[in-house]
Structure 1
Amino acid sequence: MNPELRELFEIKQDDEKNNQPTNQNVTTHIITRLALIIFGTLGFVIAMTQAKGWDALGYFFFMMIFHAVWLLFIIIETIFLQGSGKVKLRNVNLVFISVLLIIYGIGSGVFLGRP
């Protein structure tokens, strides 16, 4: 092989190695996502317990909207993480999406299954 082509090929291989994301801190990713959803939910639950009349139902609807926006954010972030090649963080987001959808499914089955 031509030495010039070999040098060009080695430079291309070095560039591919540099594009690999190495700083995928999974623990901070998990902690920040969980902290946001837990503190948001606790805030709405506290507001619902202190509300009177129909206000509690309004806070419940706002909490549902908060959870939907959070889920949408996680889905969009998963798409961007897939594009940037951060597979570990993408998998964490997929687990979040799965667990949240299972919890929502169980909750809707419990509430809709009652006569």
Structure 2
Amino acid sequence: MNSELKELFEIKQEDKDKDKKISKPTDQNIKKHITTRLAVFILGTICFVIAIMEGKGVWEEIAFLIYMALFHAIWLLFIIIEALVLHCNKKLTLRNTNLIFILVLVLTYFISGIFLFGFA
């Protein structure tokens, strides 16, 4: 009876080792990752634009514009920190997605700054 239990235990042990070798961390869903980041960014921007349009004076609109700029800056900082964490966790595809997202945001801010402030 003991030898039979040993055989069963060894078989189970081999199955666990095979599962560990076969299963690789493939939880890097790029579509879901970029969709959530873009959704937060776009919804935040839309909410601030609505608040700016509903502003009752120039100073209130400028205040909402400053709040929107702060929101974008904090969101960009969050994406940069997340890229560093993803790099440490060896999730390179998600890190690269974040780096591309950062590049697009910085280029968008740069082009917006040119149009707003006329740095030509």
Q: Establish whether TM, by shorter chain, passes 0.5.
A: yes
Shift of 1:20: 5.2
Shift of 1:21: 2.8
Say whether 1:42 aligns with 2:39: no
Cα distance in 2 for partners of 1:21, 1:81 equals 13
Identity of aligned residues (%): 47
Cα distance in 1 for partners of 2:77, 2:53 equals 27
User: CA offsets, 1:15-44, max 9 Å, x none?
Assistant: xx6895321011110110000000000000
**Within-5 A mapping of 1:1-115:** 21-53=25-57, 54-113=59-118
Structure 1 stretches of 4+ moved >6 Å: none
* TM superposition score normalised by structure 2: 0.77
Partner SS for 2:28: coil
What is the letter of the counterpart of residue 47 of structure 1? A
Q: How many residues align?
A: 101
The structure having more radius of gyration, on CA atoms, is 2
Partner SS for 1:85: coil
Shift of 1:110: 1.5
User: Which structure's relative contact order is higher, taking Cα pairs within 8 Å and 6+ residues apart?
Assistant: 1
User: CA offsets, 1:38-96, max 9 Å, x none?
Assistant: 00000000000011111111000000000000000000000000000101100110011
8 A Cα contact 1:20 1:85, kept in partner: no
Gaps of 5+ in 2: 1-17
8 A Cα contact 1:81 1:87, kept in partner: yes
